[in-house]
Amino acid sequence: MTTTAVWSLGFRPFFLLAGISAVVFIALWGGLIAHGGFPQNYYSPLNWHAHEMLFGYTVAVVSGFLLTAVKNWTGRETASGIKLASLVLVWLLGRLMPFMNNWVDDWFIALVDLAFLPYLILCLAMPIWQQRTFRNAPVLLLLLGLFVANILFHMDTLQLTNVGVTRLFHVTIGIILIFIAIIAGRVVPFFIRSACKGTVPLVWPVIEWISVLSIVAIVVLKAFYDDSNALLLVSVVAVLSNAIRMMAWSSTEAFKQPMLLVLFSGYLWMVLGIGLDALSLLNIGSSQLALHAMTVGSIGVLTLGMMCRVSLGHTGRAIKANWLIVLAFLLINGAVVFRVLFPLFMPMDYVLWLNVSSVLWLLAFLLFSVYFTPVLLARRVDED
C-alpha cells in the first residue's frame, strides 16, 4: 500500500468518500427520524438529506466514474496528484461547511459548495477538447445542468429566489437519471459482451434514442411545464422504451453473473420509479415512493454496482463478485424493497419499513467500505 496510489486516478478517493458518506449521511438522517434531533446547520434537516444524497454522495460517485472514464475515452489525464487532491478537498469542504454556519456567512457556505462542479467540469473538459472526442460532451452538459440546479437550490436557501426546492430536487434526480440512461447504453452491452462470451445484446438505435430523450422530456416538463397530461404521456413512453431496451440487453448468461445482474436490477428500479411517478399523476400510489424507487433504487443500486466493478477492474483484479459483494448487492436491493414496495402495500407500518430500509442501506455500504478501502488505497495488483 502506498500513500500516492489513492491520488493516481479519480475513482479511488471519490469512491472511498462516497462509500463513507453513504453510511454517515443515512446514519445522521436515521438518527433524526429515531430521536427527533439533528445538528443545526445551513440547511433544514429535509433539505440537507436530499441535497447531500444528491450533490454529496451521488456527485462523488459520478465524479469518480467520469474522471476515470474520460481518461479511458480520451487517453489523456483528467486529474491526479495535487489536482485530484484539491478537487477532493473542495468536495469535502462542501460537506463540512454547512455545519460551520455559526462561524461563517451563509453565502460563503454556498460558494464553497458551488465551487466543486465547475472545477470538475474543467478537469473533464480539457482532455475532451484536446482529443476532440466531442461525443463525450453530453456528460459535461449534464454536469452543467446539475450545477445550475445547485445554484438555484442555494439561491432558494438564501431566500434570493422562490423556485421551490422540491421542484429542483425532482429536476436534479431527472438529470442523474439521464446520465444513468446514457452511460448504461454505453457500458452495459459492452460489459455483457466482455463477460458472456458469445452473447450479443441487442441494441436498437431507435429505442436507444427514445429511451434517453423521453427522460429528457420528463425533466424539461418537471422544470418548466408540469402539465400532468403531457408528463403522463412522456412517462409512459419512457417506461415502455426503457423496459424494451433492458429486455433487449438481457440474457440468461448475464443474469447468472451478480456484477451484471445488479446493473439490471438498478435499471429496473428506474423504470418502476418512472412508472410509479406516472401513476401518482392519476392519484394512484405515492409520488414519494416513486421518488425513492429512483433514488434508493436506481441511483443507490447502480452506483454501488458500478463502484464495485470499476474498483475491481481498475485495480487489476478479476471482475467477479465474492460473497461479501453479493451480500452488499442483496442488502441494497432489500433496502429498496422495504423503502418502496412495503410502504406501497402496507402503509400503516411506514416508519418500520423506513427504519429497516435505512439499516439495510447502511449495512450494504459498510460492506463496500470495509472491503474496498484497502483495495482503493493500494496499488494495482499487477504493479506489485
pLDDT number for residue 92: 98
| Residue among 185, 363, 331 nearest 267 (CA) | 185
pLDDT number for residue 86: 97
Q: 369 Cβ partners below 8 Å, 6+ apart?
A: 16, 19, 20, 23
Give pLDDT < 50 ranges for the chain: 1
Sign of CA dihedral 144, 149, 154, 158: positive
What letter does residue 197 receive in the DSSP assignment? T
Pair 125, 140: CB distance under 8 Å: yes
pLDDT number for residue 1: 46
Residue 23: C-alpha distances to residues 20, 29, 57, 366, 368 (Å) = 5, 10, 10, 7, 10
pLDDT number for residue 319: 93
Residue for grid cell 451563509: 106
Half-sphere exposure of residue 113: CA atoms within 13 angstroms, side-chain side: 32
Question: Would you state the torsion angle of the CA atoms of residues 203, 306, 94, 360, taken in this order, to the nearest 10 degrees?
Answer: 120
pLDDT number for residue 34: 64
- Of the chain, the end-to-end C-alpha distance in Å amounts to 9
